[in-house]
């Protein structure tokens, strides 16, 4: 089965999964079942991994422009990806962003609209944000919060950053200068006190509260949202563990392998599930951080070493890996499958 993350800036998780399937079929043929479950860790791509959008709403963008944001409503469950409403790409990247003014108001508007549309459970994927407003913009946009009473909100976090650390760690990525980072940090410190006063919730020591510039903490305070590992949320929703248990071979991957790949991200999560199920696994990475060894990374996470790894830039060169990514992924998947078939690990 194919269960990769996106290759950021190159291919979506769904496109990568389809390319893996094409490569696998070179060796197993068309009769064999190849399951594709594109995966995400709570950041960009979470909406697609959980079924894709079927609704569009006009909301406030990160720099207060009006934008159309896609989301999903499936019965009483809504999926909102904050990058679609308050994302850095919408602000023109770090160069075009105004890190002090960027707001999560549009994300709050999406959540409110989902609830008005009948949602009783809302999954909010956070990641790729332009914002460091601590979620205040979203909470103000949803006021009065009493209308969301009884609604379960789960925030799928792609980082474990603390609330007051969000500006220091992620502010520069959003275009903040040194002095602006200090201003944003003080803003978050003031919001800690405000949220205690308003909601009786202290987000200062709450794990993952700094995700999306503190949006996660704001939702935890104002909506009593659950802050969860994004990969675990997605894996549970799509039945990933059960699918892996039935597989002969699992191939996952991401655009860049680094130390964080084994800390709540897709690659580490998939490999942990495969190891637990006793299923052989392979990884395809677009590139990797210098010095990162996959087997060593897995051992530090108390997991067994993966069977094999293909790094596209090392196998096919940077030019082809960037310009012809999906073809390279298919070729890598074919090679991984051939190795498992010859070793007797895959039927067919």
> How much is the average pLDDT of 130-159?
97
Q: Check whether residue 187 and residue 53 sit in a common domain.
A: yes
The predicted structure's pLDDT at residue 342: 76
Q: Rounded to two decimals, what is the model's pTM?
A: 0.92
Residues 98, 170 share a domain? yes
Q: Are residues 211 and 73 in the same domain?
A: yes
Determine contact, residues 230/43, Cβ cutoff 8 Å. Answer: yes
Which among 231, 266, 285 is the end of a domain?
231
- Mean per-residue pLDDT for 269-274? 92
Asked if pLDDT for residue 275 goes beyond 80, the answer is yes
On whether residue 5 sits in a domain, the answer given is: no
Does the pLDDT at position 346 exceed 60? no
pLDDT for position 100: 98
Q: In whole angstroms, what is the distance from residue 169 CA to residue 4 CA? A: 26
| Beta-bridge partner residues of 60 | 66
Domain end among 168, 201, 231: 231
Mean pLDDT of the residues in the chain: 93
Q: Could you read off the pLDDT of 96-131 as tens digits, one per residue?
A: 999 999 999 999 999 999 999 999 999 999 999 999
Residue 299 pLDDT level (bands cut at 50, 70, 90): low
| Residue 315: per-residue pLDDT | 95
Total of domains in the chain: 2
DSSP letter string over 43-68? STTHHHHTT---EEEEEE-TTS-EEE
Q: pLDDT value at position 298?
A: 59
Cβ–Cβ contacts within 10 Å for residue 145, how many? 17
Q: Are residue 184 and residue 327 in the same domain, yes or no?
A: no
For 94, the token pair is 């770090």
Residue 308 pLDDT > 90: no
* pLDDT above 80: residue 294: no
* Whether residue 248 sits in one domain with residue 186: no
Query: Residue 110: CA atoms inside 13 Å, Cβ hemisphere, count?
Result: 33
Instruction: Give the highest mean pLDDT range of 27-41, 158-172, 268-282.
Output: 158-172
Would 173 be classed as within a structural domain? yes
Query: Same domain, yes or no, for 143 and 269?
Result: no
Q: Which of 212, 231, 250 is the last residue of a domain?
A: 231
Are 227 and 243 part of one and the same domain?
Answer: no
Q: What is the CATH number of the domain that holds 166?
A: 3.90.1510.10
Question: The domain that contains 269 carries what CATH number?
Answer: 3.40.50.10350
DSSP-derived secondary structure for 237-254:
HHTHHHHHHT-S-EEEEE
């Amino acid at each position: 089965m194919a269960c990769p993350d996106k290759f950021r800036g190159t291919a979506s998780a769904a496109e990568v999964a389809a390319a893996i399937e094409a490569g696998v079929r070179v060796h197993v043929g068309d009769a064999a079942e190849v399951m594709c479950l594109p995966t995400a860790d709570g950041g960009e791509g979470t909406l697609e991994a959980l079924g894709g959008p079927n609704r569009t709403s006009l909301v406030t963008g990160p720099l207060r422009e009006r934008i159309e944001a896609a989301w999903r409503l499936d019965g009483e469950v809504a999926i909102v990806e904050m990058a679609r409403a308050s994302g850095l790409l919408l602000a023109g990247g770090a160069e075009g962003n105004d890190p002090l003014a960027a707001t999560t108001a549009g994300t709050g508007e999406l959540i409110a609209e989902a609830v008005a549309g009948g949602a009783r459970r809302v999954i909010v994927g956070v990641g790729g944000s332009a914002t460091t407003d601590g979620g205040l913009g979203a909470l103000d946009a949803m006021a009065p919060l009493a209308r969301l009473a009884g609604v379960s909100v789960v925030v799928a976090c792609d980082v474990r950053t603390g609330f007051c650390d969000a500006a220091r760690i992620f502010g520069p990525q959003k275009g903040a200068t040194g002095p602006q980072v200090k201003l944003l940090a003080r803003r978050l410190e003031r919001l800690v006190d405000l949220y205690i006063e308003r909601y009786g919730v202290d987000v200062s020591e709450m794990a993952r509260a700094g995700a999306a510039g503190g949006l996660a903490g704001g939702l935890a305070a104002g909506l009593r949202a659950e802050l969860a590992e994004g990969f675990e949320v997605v894996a549970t929703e799509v039945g990933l563990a059960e699918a892996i248990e039935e597989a002969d071979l699992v191939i996952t991957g991401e655009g860049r392998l680094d130390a964080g790949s084994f800390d709540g991200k897709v690659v580490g999560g998939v490999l942990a599930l495969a190891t637990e199920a006793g299923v052989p696994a392979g990884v395809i990475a677009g590139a990797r951080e210098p010095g990162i060894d996959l087997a060593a990374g897995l051992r530090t996470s108390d997991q067994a070493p993966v069977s094999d790894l293909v790094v596209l830039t090392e196998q096919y060169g940077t030019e082809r890996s960037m310009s012809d990514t999906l073809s390279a992924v298919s070729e890598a998947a074919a090679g991984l499958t051939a190795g498992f078939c010859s070793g007797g690990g895959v039927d067919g």
